[in-house]
Structure formats: structure tokens, C-alpha cells
């Protein structure tokens, strides 16, 4: 019998694996064996811990000591200091940036202490491949309750009363969707899970599937009971191999233990589940396109009505929920609707998971109560800008079909209603943070380029409209913009929104409209002044060295790939404009702020020839 006194919960999510978890784990295991501690200290590989910026990370349980940025070389010292001498190894503890104060306890670290975990309740705490560990944390108790103590109507009532809204983007009431499907009469119904997370910068669903696959399966079992379905499909993008592997292991274990298949919990209810791999088409995140894809057809949306609750997969009544929505179900059934409503607002109850990416310091996965100020997420949890000298400029919410929220609105509460008022959408939970060096015209172009490429082409407004808008944005970024282009973009955006068939086209213009709304001056500067003040659009900027600020350190000279910077020690450097390709390397390298950005017209001034 194992006599383990300490569990080392080491993150093995995609981010930490990429940062070196496998090698660190091997080195730590070797050191524990060398010191004779392997029998009493066990390393447990968990799913994503959430604090991706600090990976590889590890929690010492039950002490609660949190280690970050672990390396192979530090493992001998960590074992000696912590597990032999009994004191935390300070070098690997999290330190507050300004104070440099070490924080041993995970729940005292700002990134964690502002979060409330419901969807991510098991993140970093269990082995995703262990059914037993999931059960030890109340796993499948809600499914047992739903199947043996509740009727389908009881389940639907609890979910409706909880106020849970779909976390995939639209925010439609989950209980209402289940009720529609439950009232449909058919010989077969389908319970579906959307794991086809396609937003750039989003990894919420991937992390849940990797860290806690049983929470998704349990939610699907309860949902299937509510609508009267005996078959389910989890649609996962093929680019998520680790999520697919762990989901399949979880499904196999459930079959073996009787949690899937015939007569689950002796209730007489049967439900089977399989995984379908998506081919990476963004439009297949739309429910009707996803269902067509499962049928082996090209993933293209169809007009609604009829809605999937009446005519969905194989023209049978179907319910599609995304991963995060389904992971919310079991705690709602277990603890009740009123418990769930203790967090959030009246119209936006519960919590929301967000993926923080971009120019923010603490890149990672967070779960917060609905209604929390956006500022708290960006500064208290996210730690502010990665480069402390740069100011926050905007945050893109809702993925490529979302909108950009500026600094002036950073105090807004994060709810479905308040986010929509800004011109953005909640979406599935992606937050791409941008600092002052971001060109908002180029940003709108980037996101529109993505949605234009991902359009299925079925309807003309989306297929042609997004392309026309993209061509206009490209011209503006290349210095070919004309007076009136801004107004045309606004008109085109409204037309595409009003006439597109599905949610992709109806939301694709959001980045354009929101950037024009809040950063119109940048569009005007691009068109009228031929100047990209952020220095991103190469045809519309030039870089110069301020001689008064230049320290002649040579850093920019050495970094320049074109050898366009010349100068000697103790003599201010300068840039030869004919050779400069506006790559920004010098601007990003200089620590003294001596590189300045000017209008493209300045490049016409000739520099003296160098001997």
C-alpha cells in the first residue's frame, strides 16, 4: 500500500508541456529516487493549471506551495531545500514584479486570488486520465442524482432557474434550449458537444477537455437525460491531439465502469458517446454547419427555422452545447440553481472562463464571476502590460468576430449585456490584449482576413462583402486609402451584418466597426496623413533616432537585419532611410526610447552617402 505524504501536482497542459514539463518531471523523479523519497512523494501530471506565462508550474499538495518556471537544473536544489530541509525553495517561488516579494501560497498570488473556480474546479488538481480521482472530487454524483432522483422536467427546471447561458458565444439560455428539444417527438435525439474552438488566441475549451474530460462527459449524460437522447457526439478539432486522447481515455473508462452504455446507475437510461474530429473549419463552430460536418457533408450553415432542437443532426432533434457550458452542469445539479446564482448578475449568472493572450504579462486561463470589472481581469489578474513602459490600448473580446474595447471603457462590468453595448461580444471567451504600439487599422484587417478566409461562401453578403471590406482595409494599410473609405466601410459592415446567413457573417464586421468607432483618428491618419503612428504599416511610417536620447550603446546597430543603422561609440547613431525596411527591430531593442516613429513622407529626405 502506498504511503504518500505529498503529491506534486505538475501541470501537463499543452502550454507547460511546450515549456518543458516532460524533462523537468524526469529530472525531479530521478532526484526523488536518488534521495530515497520516491515512495512518499508522488508526482501527478495534471491538466492545465492556468498560469501559462509561468510554466512549467507545480503545486505541492497539501501544503499549497506553488513553484513556477521550473528547470531541469534546479530540481536537485528544490528537492534538497523543500523535501529534505523542509523550507520552500525561494528561487522558484512566484515573486511580485515590483516588490520582488516571494509568495509561496498559490491562493495568495494575484493571478489566482481574484478567480472563482466552477468550470475549472478540478484544474491542476487531478490526473485527467484517472476516473477515480474525478470521482474523489464528487465526480458523477450529479449524474447519479439526475438519473435516479430527478425527472427530465426536474433537470430542465434547475438549469433554467440557474440562469445558465450558453458559453459558446451567443449566450442563449441553456435550459430553454433543452426544453425545446425535450418537447420534440422523434425516435432518436442527439446530445452534441462543440469542442471546435477556432478563435485565434482562444484555448478555454481545449484546456477543459485536457484537464477535466469527465466534467464534459458528465454534463452530456445529464443533458441527454433531460432531452431524451441515447446518442452523443463530441466534435473536437483534430489540432487538439492531447484533448482527443484524454477524452477518448475518459470515454473508454466510463464504458468499462458502466457510466456510459446501457442502464446507467441502474436507472434504465442508456447513453452512448463518441468523438468526431473536425477538419479545422472555423465556420463549423456554427451549430448547423457542425451538424452537416458530422454527417460527412461540407460544413455549411443552413437557414433557421427549423432550429436544431426540432431538426438537427440527421434531421433529428439535437442539442449542441459547447465544452464550458457542459462543464457547468454537474455543479448546478449537485448544488442547485440558487447556489449557482450567488455569483454573477441577474441576466448573466455564474462564472465565465477567459483566455488571456496578447501584450499582457500573465498569459493564461482564468475563471471569474460575471459582472467583474474588465480592469480587474486585465490589471489585477493579468498583471497589466507585458512591457511596463507601454500603456494599455484595447482588448479584443469575442474572437475574430468580436470587437475592440478601448481604455476609456476598461471599467465596464463583464456581462453579456454590457459587452455588447461596447460593440464587442462575449464570444467563447478569448481576450487579446493590445498595448499602445498596436495599429488598430491593421488589427481590424487581421481579424477580417481570418473571417473572410473562413467564410464557407454559401451566402453572397459574407463571401463577397467581407472580401470587398478586406481589400479596402488592405489599401488603407498600404497607403492607398481614399476619402470616403471609412464611410463605405461602415455601410458595408451594416449590410453584411443584416443580410448574412449565419453568425460568422453577421459578426465578421465587428472588428471594423468597433475600431472605427473608438479609433477613427487612426483611420484618418492612415488615409489623409499617410502615417501609421504605431509603426506597423510599413508603407506609412519611418523610424528615426533622437540624438538627444541616444546613448550610442550600439544595441540597435547590432540588431538591425539590414545594416541600416550606422554610428560609433559615444556618437549618436542614425538610420539610413533607403536601407530601412521598417521591421521595428531597432524600436523594440532600444531601452532608452530614442527610436521614434514618423510619417512615411520623411523617408524622402536623402541621407548623406557613407564612405
Domain end position, chosen among 529, 557, 586: 529
Average pLDDT, stretch 505-526? 95
Average pLDDT, stretch 18-24? 95
Same domain, 334 and 366: no
CA distances in angstroms from 390 to 385, 436, 588, listed in the order given:
7, 6, 11
pLDDT of 326 reads 97
pLDDT of 73 reads 96
The verdict on residue 331 lying in a domain is yes
Average pLDDT, stretch 145-150? 97
The verdict on residue 588 lying in a domain is yes
Same domain, 272 and 397: no
Same domain, 247 and 330: yes
Give the list of residues 6+ apart from residue 319 with CB closer than 8 angstroms, or none: 177, 178, 181, 189, 190, 191, 192, 223, 227, 229, 308, 309, 312
Average pLDDT, stretch 51-56? 93
CB hemisphere CA count around 36 (13 angstroms): 1
Whichever domain contains 414, its CATH number is 3.10.20.600
With pLDDT > 90 as the criterion, what percentage of the chain qualifies?
Answer: 79
pLDDT of 192 reads 97
Check if the beta carbon of residue 429 is closer than 8 Å to that of residue 204: yes
Separation of alpha carbons 455 and 457, rounded Å: 5
Three-state DSSP class for residue 168: coil
Q: How confident is the model at residue 487 (pLDDT cuts 50, 70, 90)?
A: very high
Same domain, 478 and 417: no
Average pLDDT, stretch 467-473? 95
The verdict on residue 115 lying in a domain is no
pLDDT of 376 reads 96
The sign of the torsion formed by the CA atoms of 362, 366, 368, 373 equals positive
Average pLDDT, stretch 607-611? 38
pLDDT of 283 reads 87
Q: How confident is the model at residue 2 (pLDDT cuts 50, 70, 90)?
A: low
Query: How many domains does the chain fold into?
Result: 5
Return the number of other C-beta atoms located less than 10 Å from residue 582's C-beta. 23
Average pLDDT, stretch 10-30? 94
Separation of alpha carbons 35 and 83, rounded Å: 10
What are 175-185's pLDDT values in tens digits? Answer: 999 999 999 99
For the chain, give the mean pLDDT. 92
Q: How confident is the model at residue 438 (pLDDT cuts 50, 70, 90)?
A: very high
Alpha carbon 271 to its chain's center: 31
The verdict on residue 246 lying in a domain is yes
CA distances in angstroms from 382 to 98, 136, 413, listed in the order given:
15, 32, 16
The verdict on residue 126 lying in a domain is no
Same domain, 291 and 197: yes
> In the 8-state DSSP scheme, what is residue 344?
B
pLDDT of 285 reads 85
Same domain, 554 and 427: no
pLDDT of 603 reads 42
pLDDT of 601 reads 52
The verdict on residue 10 lying in a domain is yes
Same domain, 230 and 318: yes
- List the one residue out of 307, 269, 265, 257 whose CA is nearest residue 286: 307
Whichever domain contains 70, its CATH number is 3.40.30.10
Same domain, 307 and 389: no
What are 277-329's pLDDT values in tens digits? Answer: 997 788 888 899 999 999 999 988 988 889 999 999 999 999 999 999 999 99
The verdict on residue 1 lying in a domain is no
pLDDT of 168 reads 81
Same domain, 494 and 418: no
- List the one residue out of 348, 352, 349 whose CA is nearest residue 367: 352
Q: Nine-digit cell at 579?
A: 536601407
Q: How confident is the model at residue 605 (pLDDT cuts 50, 70, 90)?
A: very low
What are 540-594's pLDDT values in tens digits? Answer: 999 999 999 999 999 999 999 999 999 888 899 999 998 998 888 999 899 898 9
Domain end position, chosen among 414, 435, 456: 435
Q: How confident is the model at residue 609 (pLDDT cuts 50, 70, 90)?
A: very low
| Selected residue with higher pLDDT from 307 and 169 | 307
The verdict on residue 123 lying in a domain is no
Domain end position, chosen among 108, 142, 160: 108
Q: What is the dihedral of CA 510, 458, 442, 53, to 10 degrees?
A: 80
Mapping DSSP onto H, E and C, the string for 289-338 reads HHHHHHCCCCCCCCCCCCCCCCCCHHHCCEEEEEHHHHHHHHHHHHHCHH
Average pLDDT, stretch 140-155? 97
Same domain, 365 and 500: no
Average pLDDT, stretch 433-450? 94
What are 223-275's pLDDT values in tens digits? Answer: 999 999 999 999 998 889 999 999 999 999 999 999 999 999 999 999 999 99
C-alpha distance across the termini of the chain, in Å: 80
Same domain, 156 and 142: yes
Q: Nine-digit cell at 387?
A: 512591457
Whichever domain contains 566, its CATH number is 3.30.70.20
Range of the domain at 430: 351-435
Same domain, 87 and 200: no
Residue 607 has pLDDT above 60, yes or no: no
Amino acid at each position: 500500500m502506498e504511503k504518500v505524504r505529498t503529491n506534486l501536482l505538475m501541470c501537463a497542459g499543452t502550454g507547460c508541456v511546450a515549456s518543458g514539463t516532460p524533462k523537468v518531471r524526469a529530472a525531479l523523479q530521478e532526484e526523488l529516487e536518488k534521495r530515497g523519497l520516491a515512495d512518499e512523494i508522488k508526482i501527478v501530471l495534471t491538466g492545465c493549471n492556468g498560469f501559462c506565462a509561468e510554466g512549467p508550474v507545480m503545486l505541492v499538495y497539501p501544503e499549497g506551495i506553488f513553484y513556477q518556471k521550473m528547470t531541469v537544473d534546479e530540481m536537485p536544489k528544490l528537492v534538497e531545500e523543500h523535501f529534505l530541509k523542509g523550507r520552500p525553495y525561494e528561487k522558484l517561488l512566484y515573486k511580485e514584479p515590483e516588490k520582488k516579494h516571494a509568495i509561496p501560497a498559490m491562493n495568495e498570488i494575484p493571478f489566482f486570488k481574484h478567480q472563482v473556480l466552477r468550470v475549472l474546479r478540478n484544474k491542476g488538481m487531478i490526473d485527467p486520465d484517472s476516473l477515480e480521482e474525478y470521482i474523489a472530487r464528487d465526480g458523477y454524483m450529479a449524474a447519479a442524482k439526475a438519473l435516479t432522483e430527478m425527472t427530465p422536467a426536474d433537470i430542465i427546471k434547475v438549469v433554467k432557474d440557474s440562469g445558465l447561458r450558453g458559453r459558446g458565444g451567443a449566450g442563449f439560455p441553456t435550459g430553454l434550449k433543452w426544453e425545446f428539444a425535450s418537447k420534440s417527438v422523434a425516435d432518436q435525439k442527439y446530445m452534441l458537444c462543440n469542442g471546435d474552438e477556432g478563435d485565434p488566441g482562444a484555448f478555454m475549451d481545449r484546456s477543459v477537455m485536457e484537464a477535466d474530460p469527465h466534467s464534459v462527459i458528465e454534463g452530456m449524460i445529464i443533458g441527454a437525460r433531460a432531452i431524451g437522447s441515447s446518442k452523443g457526439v463530441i466534435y473536437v478539432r483534430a489540432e487538439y491531439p492531447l484533448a482527443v486522447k484524454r477524452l477518448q481515455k475518459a470515454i473508454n473508462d466510463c464504458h468499462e465502469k458502466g457510466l456510459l452504455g446501457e442502464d446507467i446507475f441502474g436507472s434504465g437510461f442508456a447513453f452512448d458517446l463518441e468523438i468526431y474530429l473536425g477538419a479545422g473549419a472555423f465556420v463549423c463552430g456554427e451549430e448547423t454547419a457542425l451538424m452537416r460536418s458530422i454527417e460527412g457533408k461540407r460544413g455549411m450553415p443552413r437557414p433557421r427555422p427549423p432550429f436544431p432542437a426540432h431538426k438537427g443532426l440527421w434531421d433529428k432533434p439535437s442539442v449542441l452545447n459547447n465544452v464550458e457550458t457542459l462543464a457547468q452542469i454537474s455543479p448546478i445539479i449537485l448544488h442547485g440553481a440558487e447556489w449557482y446564482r450567488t455569483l454573477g448578475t441577474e441576466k448573466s449568472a455564474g462564472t465565465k472562463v477567459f483566455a488571456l493572450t496578447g501584450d499582457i504579462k500573465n498569459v493564461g486561463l482564468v475563471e471569474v464571476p460575471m459582472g467583474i470589472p474588465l480592469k480587474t481581469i486585465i490589471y489585477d489578474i493579468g498583471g497589466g502590460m507585458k512591457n511596463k513602459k507601454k500603456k494599455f490600448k484595447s482588448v479584443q473580446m469575442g474572437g475574430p468576430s468580436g470587437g475592440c474595447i478601448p481604455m476609456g471603457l476598461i471599467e465596464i462590468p463583464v456581462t453579456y449585456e454590457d459587452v455588447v453595448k461596447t460593440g464587442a461580444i462575449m464570444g467563447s471567451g478569448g481576450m487579446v490584449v493590445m498595448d499602445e504600439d498596436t495599429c488598430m487599422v491593421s488589427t481590424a484587417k487581421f481579424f477580417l482576413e481570418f473571417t473572410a478566409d473562413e467564410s464557407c461562401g454559401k451566402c453572397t453578403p459574407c463571401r463577397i462583402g467581407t472580401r470587398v471590406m478586406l481589400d479596402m482595409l488592405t489599401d488603407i494599410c498600404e497607403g492607398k486609402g481614399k476619402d470616403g473609405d471609412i464611410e463605405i466601410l461602415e455601410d458595408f459592415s451594416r449590410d453584411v451584418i443584416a443580410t448574412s446567413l449565419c453568425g460568422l457573417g453577421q459578426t465578421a464586421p465587428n472588428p471594423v466597426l468597433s475600431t472605427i468607432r473608438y479609433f477613427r483618428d487612426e483611420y484618418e491618419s492612415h488615409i489623409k496623413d499617410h502615417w501609421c503612428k504605431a509603426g506597423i504599416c510599413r508603407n506609412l511610417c519611418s523610424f528615426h533616432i533622437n540624438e538627444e536620447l541616444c546613448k550610442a550603446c550600439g544595441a540597435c546597430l547590432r540588431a538591425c537585419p539590414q545594416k541600416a543603422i550606422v554610428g560609433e561609440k559615444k556618437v549618436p547613431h542614425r538610420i539610413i532611410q533607403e536601407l530601412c525596411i521598417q521591421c521595428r527591430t531597432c524600436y523594440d531593442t532600444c531601452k532608452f526610447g530614442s527610436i521614434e516613429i514618423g510619417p512615411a513622407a520623411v523617408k524622402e529626405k536623402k541621407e548623406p552617402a557613407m564612405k
